[in-house]
Chain A
């Protein structure tokens, strides 16, 4: 029976700690206070996390603030180094084995060609003073594209796809609303046709109607382009609408995972139950 078919991203035993650790917390069975060692104050932001992302699916990650969701995403996008763990991209034939161990030049290449990232805060993903077209061109140039005509065409194509009027394409995103900035970020992230898209709380802080626009866009991208996505959110309604499978994180650990309706209708863990009971 095919269980591991179509894996595009595979993570094994991924951990990230802030601090050096001590003789107490280096023992796996030692009980931390939430995710912090009470002796040396080392924070274990992500602990022994393993999962696979399949072709064309949307994987949701939910959890409270400080549960390690964003740290996990930052490690996947090489914004932050992992303390330990294995990261494989089986579909990328140019790299074999653990992607965390490749050179920084190769990491940049993977980031530009295999991954797209949309941050909760558009300031992290966009150069706010440069035009939308330039922002998109930046990603294309980084991956070796030097043809100005082609880059402009590509920028037009994706800006149209995310419903940004082309007569505003030379405007800087700082003049745009939050929802528009988020859509420019999505256009930039998609511009290289990456097989994997990482979305970190992309609808947080947006009003309901703009939120619906972004959700619609994400679903459309999945359907039309077959892009695999990891969506981080603390909004379970969004997770229910978008995600095929869901992982629940608490204090840096994955406490529960499964098909989204299994998690929402038959939650097993105490924390997941509280989360589900809190849906408005």
Chain B
């Protein structure tokens, strides 16, 4: 479903007159329904890869091929902005470590809005949003609060809720378990298992190697640039 071929990314910093290489010569592929874990030390370029798949970063060289439901096979960096936005709304989800939201948008509205973007009707969106918030143990008392009052763990769970509520074909997870307690991690694990059962393809960055056990079919090590297949 995703094939990364000889991918490199450098950042040019004009005021320092410098070019910094973030990743160089990365290649791997992920089939439909697989879960790829990306590991490596801080600064090895894990997030760069993920953001390049999402289209936030444009590669310096190489391709990111994606088999889309809407458009068929495409290079994610060779399609129009409009097409990429459509893919993000309908097919590709991204969970970052940080939650950035419109000011004065309540938790419930936030999850509902994620679904309305896709054209879901308001009743279905409201019902699904409530179910999702319940699943992630976000207490009903917080549903009408603004998320900037939440703890780090609550924000992260809400972030995941906003992404999974759209039922994406491909979900990108940037350290989804950082700052979560054991119980919340369990919830995330449960959700990921459910997504895998539904045929969702996942690519995730993890520091918590234990968390990946029994979930990932493949692990890509940024340090050795090797792809290891695992039997679950």
Contacts and interface: CB of A to CB of B under 8 A. Distances in A.
Interface in A261-277: 261-262, 265-266, 268-270, 273-274, 277
Contacts of B51: 265-266
Given A1-B74, A223-B116, A262-B58, A274 B80 contact: no
A223 B14 contact: no
Interface in B75-125: 79-85, 100, 102-105, 113, 116
A234 interface: no
Contacts of B13: 273
Interface string A9-38: 000000000000000000000000000000
A124 interface: no
B55 interface: yes
A240 B102 contact: no
Interface string B58-79: 1000000000000100100001
A75 interface: no
Contacts of B11: 266
B116 A266 contact: no
A148 interface: no
Interface string A234-248: 000000110011000
B179 interface: no
Contacts of A216: 102-105
Interface in B2-28: 11-15
Interface residues of B, number: 26
A274 B16 CA distance: 12
A259 B81 contact: yes
B56 interface: yes
Contacts of B136: none
A268 B84 CA distance: 19
A212 B103 contact: yes
A84 B81 CA distance: 27
Contacts of A241: 102-103
Given A1-B74, A215-B102, A268 B12 contact: yes
Contacts of B143: none
Contacts of B71: 1
Contacts of B15: 270, 273-274, 277
Interface in A181-236: 212, 215-216, 219, 223
Contacts of A223: 113, 116
Contact of A262 (B56, B83, B116): B56
B81 A219 contact: no
A130 interface: no
Interface of A: 1-3, 5-6, 54, 57, 212, 215-216, 219, 223, 240-241, 244-245, 257-259, 261-262, 265-266, 268-270, 273-274, 277
6 contacts: A215-B103, A216-B102, A216-B103, A223-B113, A241-B102, A245-B85
What 5 A-B pairs have minimum CB-CB distances, sorted nearest first? A270-B14, A212-B103, A3-B80, A266-B57, A261-B56
